Structure 1
Amino acid sequence: MNRTTPSSRYAGLSRRELAAVVPELLLIGQLIDRSGMAWCISAFGREEMARIAIEEWAASSPIYTRRMQRALGYAPEVPGKGDVPTIFKGLQLDIGAPPQFMDFRYTVHDRWHGEFHLDHCGALMDVEPMGDDYVRSMCHDIEDPTFDATAVATNPKAQVRPIHRPPRRPSDRHPHCAWTVTIDESHPDVQGIPLLADNERSRAANLELAPIDPADDGRADYSGPLLSDLDFAAFSRSALVRIADEVCLQMHLLDRAFALAVAERAADAGELLRIRRKQLVGIAGIAAERLARALDLPADANGAARLLAVHPVFNPAAYVDADITTAPEGAGIALRPSPAHDDGAWISLCGPGWTTALRAVVRTVDPRLDVEVTGTDEEWRLAVVHREQPVPEPDEVAVVRFSSGTGFTFEPRRPLPITPV
């Protein structure tokens, strides 16, 4: 029986398993919006949904981009003076640009000039059937400020500008979009939005995680040349553990910014809670489904407990304080107050009074699995239990299935160094 909390819950996975889980986590982060924005459209309309999306990404991506730069050793030597390859490396490890689903292809002219285009944009495939107004909201209204907001983490003089972008004319235009990235001292500094300062004070933004062990077998950092694709199997086990934890923090920072943006528009605390819980249920169920499949987890209570241990709701371990037990006599969780509760993160929405998201997770292993939760809002125990009848899939999960990302399959890629042309 294992009742101890490791420095990272991902430390229990093998290097091969981690190499499969990391791209899954990046894609799961992208799908958070497929879950949350549906309810924002319903509550506030398309235009306000677009403003919420701008604010959530602009108030989170600069924070987590810098965190990943520091973790993997490719941060600019002088803060704020990074180059185009550094910006592109950040995109490869960003939940806003999960590999292959958002298939960024990069060109570097020199340190200060580059381009990228998308051979496949999964987000466009999701939105295009909804019509040109929704495409413009995503590819114009949202992308213009959020691309610059992401680049500002590396250099406030960076500008990301379109060569062409959707709506596609003709309708099968390829690549889906293309952009230039230019860093020039004559450019005005990009400024962070007010919500960014709020998010920078969060526990997630300032959380310390265990450093990568440079002696571990495999790649310990992302110094050196920009690569066309990241081969996660080339990273060391220690590096993959850190990347997985950082990607989960990206999700929490994005969700916190989402909550801040929705709070400014919600009629009251009740509406804010309702929208946040609907977003959580949808992404919790889809994330569980993809992770369970990637790890080939057994269809029993122990498999459900192992799934909970790697689910973003419960990670990183330094952020969400819980003991997760896998044992024949009882699989479950003992949760305690943690930094995640201080931030009002996903786990703070769950507890004895509301178990829908937790049920959505365990039922993906076996539809007859359920949870029983006892205790208080911040300190509770969860037991995985078996029901005679299947637990139905929540409607919120069905909403996220609208995205092609829910069934997306990664393929092997050969990474090649990108040099100036």
Structure 2
Amino acid sequence: MVDSRYASLSRDELAVLVPELLLIGHMIDRSGMAWCISEFGREEMVQIAIEEWAGSSPIYTQRMQRALGYVGNDVFTIFKGLQFDIGSPPQFMDFRFTVHDRWNGEFQLASCGALIDVEPMGYDYTFGMCHTIEDPTFDATAVATNPYAQCRPVHRPPRTPADRQPHCHWTVKIDESYPPAQPIPALAVVGATRAATWELADIDPEGEGLADYTGPLLSDVDFTAFSHSALVRMADEVCLQMHLLYLSFALAVRARASSDELAASVGRRQLTGLAGLGAMRIKNALGLPDDIDGALRVFELHPLLNPIGYLRAEFGQDAIVVQPSPAHDDGAWITLCTPEHVAPLQAIATAVNPRLRVEVEGADTEWTARLTEVDTEAKELPEVMVTKVSTGAAFQFQPRQSLPLMVV
């Protein structure tokens, strides 16, 4: 079984990085949807978002269930899954759970970072996210746990009054009399990718700390409580969540794009924005230096180049050598990075130090990227600037007390 690039981090470093990766994954849409609006309009953007999440979240939800040993068909399982989903990163999407019994529960968002981002855009955008997108995607995620689960709103935005708290409130009920939720066709396509079935190393049950999440549902996940091995597996799984989400996004975009070139352009703009923001957060979270060594470390830990095996890359003193990989076979993010298209790679380098430059030589699927330092600072790429409009760009995690949630 292949190793993980995250295994080189300490347990404490991983406990910091895993929630960062969940938040970075959430920022994919802050980057991508702006370009969908500009190319296809707001209504098509909404449909792309629905297809993107419904075509990927059931796959990666089940992957994390298996990895952490909480496979089940009840409300507890659904809520645990939300705590490890890039769609609901901890604290930024501040879920508060109530469980009445195995088949009935509720959740509230005490604060919703996605809402805070979209509310200034007006009623139509808020309604699109909180109604048109959420209705099918909550149920689509439930397919992973129980097709007879229904998530239904008690209240949700647009907020009335404008400062209503909590931001939204939903019930979750599982009842076999409900019509079973049906997967969308894209789910089968994404499920056939190498990313969907990529095997990662099992968690070592002997390490210090929790090796699974088989215990009670917790109010907030304390990542410091998990073992080094469990945190490594989580990090790699979260990276696969991002690749799967992009593969589903790419399907939805291609269905609407007038050409392969336009579809790739939208994907590349999404990746460029996310690459730069993600690099900034990884560097800051781990306190990495702003020199070439620091940049190479950021590249090594960036979701673009993980997990090992799915992405094949070697790291030298000032260079990254990328080889053909299963990610290329899938048409994943890495296919958007070539000697002719270096913007995503440059966005990572610039986030570490604006004086760093990336030069790429080779073929589309096998290339070498070299880092050099120059005297002049590069301007931040517009794709990164668009992504950093989100409050998630500067969001800071806070220590939380992790309490077990009992049946009410």
TM-score band, normalised by shorter chain:
over 0.9
**CA deviation string 1:196-253 (max 9, x = no partner):** 0100000100100010000111110000110000000110000000000000000000
Query: Partner letter of residue 380 of structure 2?
Result: E
Query: Paired residue for 2:325?
Result: 338
Q: Does 1:283 align with 2:279?
A: no
Query: Paired residue for 2:367?
Result: 380
Mapping of residues 294-333 of structure 1, within 5 Å:
294-325=285-316, 330-333=317-320
Q: Secondary structure at the match of 2:90?
A: coil
Query: What is the rounded CA distance, in whole Å, between the counterparts of 1:389 and 1:16 in structure 2?
Result: 36
Quick one: which of 231, 240, 243 aligns to 1:249?
Answer: 240
> Offset at 1:47?
0.7
Query: What is the rounded CA distance, in whole Å, between the counterparts of 2:153 and 2:230 in structure 1?
Result: 34
Query: What is the rounded CA distance, in whole Å, between the counterparts of 2:318 and 2:90 in structure 1?
Result: 34
Quick one: which of 187, 191, 197 aligns to 1:206?
Answer: 197
Aligned 8 A contact 2:57 2:141 in 1 = yes
**CA deviation string 1:156-193 (max 9, x = no partner):** 00000000000000000000000000000101110000
Query: What is the rounded CA distance, in whole Å, between the counterparts of 1:308 and 1:6 in structure 2?
Result: 19
Query: What is the rounded CA distance, in whole Å, between the counterparts of 1:6 and 1:404 in structure 2?
Result: 36
Query: Partner letter of residue 142 of structure 1?
Result: I
Query: What is the rounded CA distance, in whole Å, between the counterparts of 1:267 and 1:222 in structure 2?
Result: 45
**CA deviation string 1:324-362 (max 9, x = no partner):** 22xxxx322111100100111111110211111101101
Aligned 8 A contact 1:28 1:287 in 2 = yes
Q: Secondary structure at the match of 2:194?
A: coil
Structure 1 stretches of 4+ with a deviation exceeding 4 A read: none
Query: Partner letter of residue 162 of structure 2?
Result: S
> Offset at 1:151?
1.0
Aligned 8 A contact 1:69 1:90 in 2 = yes
Query: Partner letter of residue 135 of structure 1?
Result: T
Query: Partner letter of residue 302 of structure 1?
Result: D
Mapping of residues 42-57 of structure 1, within 5 Å:
42-57=38-53
**CA deviation string 1:342-401 (max 9, x = no partner):** 111111110211111101101111110111111111111111111121121100000011
Query: Paired residue for 1:79?
Result: none
> Offset at 1:318?
2.2
Quick one: which of 385, 399, 402 aligns to 1:412?
Answer: 399
Query: What is the rounded CA distance, in whole Å, between the counterparts of 1:332 and 1:14 in structure 2?
Result: 24
Q: Secondary structure at the match of 1:159?
A: strand
Query: Partner letter of residue 44 of structure 1?
Result: F
Residues matched between the structures, number:
408
Query: What is the rounded CA distance, in whole Å, between the counterparts of 2:84 and 2:225 in structure 1?
Result: 15
Query: Paired residue for 2:227?
Result: 236
Quick one: which of 256, 266, 284 aligns to 1:265?
Answer: 256
Query: Paired residue for 2:114?
Result: 123
Q: Does 1:350 align with 2:337?
A: yes
**CA deviation string 1:21-62 (max 9, x = no partner):** 000000011110000000001111111100000000000000
Aligned 8 A contact 1:209 1:318 in 2 = no
Quick one: which of 56, 63, 67 aligns to 1:67?
Answer: 63
Compute the RMSD of aligned alpha carbons: 0.9
Query: What is the rounded CA distance, in whole Å, between the counterparts of 2:90 and 2:47 in structure 1?
Result: 25
Query: What is the rounded CA distance, in whole Å, between the counterparts of 1:239 and 1:401 in structure 2?
Result: 30
Query: What is the rounded CA distance, in whole Å, between the counterparts of 1:365 and 1:268 in structure 2?
Result: 34
Residue identity (%) = 62
Query: Paired residue for 2:164?
Result: 173
Q: Does 1:401 align with 2:351?
A: no
Query: Paired residue for 2:377?
Result: 390
Query: What is the rounded CA distance, in whole Å, between the counterparts of 1:212 and 1:385 in structure 2?
Result: 38
Query: Paired residue for 2:8?
Result: 12
Q: Does 1:40 align with 2:36?
A: yes
Normalised TM-score (structure 1): 0.96
Q: Which moved more, 1:110-119 or 1:370-379?
A: 370-379
**CA deviation string 1:134-173 (max 9, x = no partner):** 0000000000000001111000000000000000000000
> Offset at 1:270?
1.3
Q: Does 1:162 align with 2:153?
A: yes
Query: Paired residue for 1:24?
Result: 20
**CA deviation string 1:103-128 (max 9, x = no partner):** 00000000000000000000000000
> Offset at 1:299?
1.2
Query: What is the rounded CA distance, in whole Å, between the counterparts of 1:243 and 1:112 in structure 2?
Result: 27
Query: Partner letter of residue 35 of structure 2?
Result: W
Normalised TM-score (structure 2): 0.99
Q: Secondary structure at the match of 1:120?
A: strand
Query: Partner letter of residue 20 of structure 1?
Result: V
| Structure 1 portions without partners, runs of 5+ | 77-81
Query: What is the rounded CA distance, in whole Å, between the counterparts of 1:71 and 1:401 in structure 2?
Result: 32
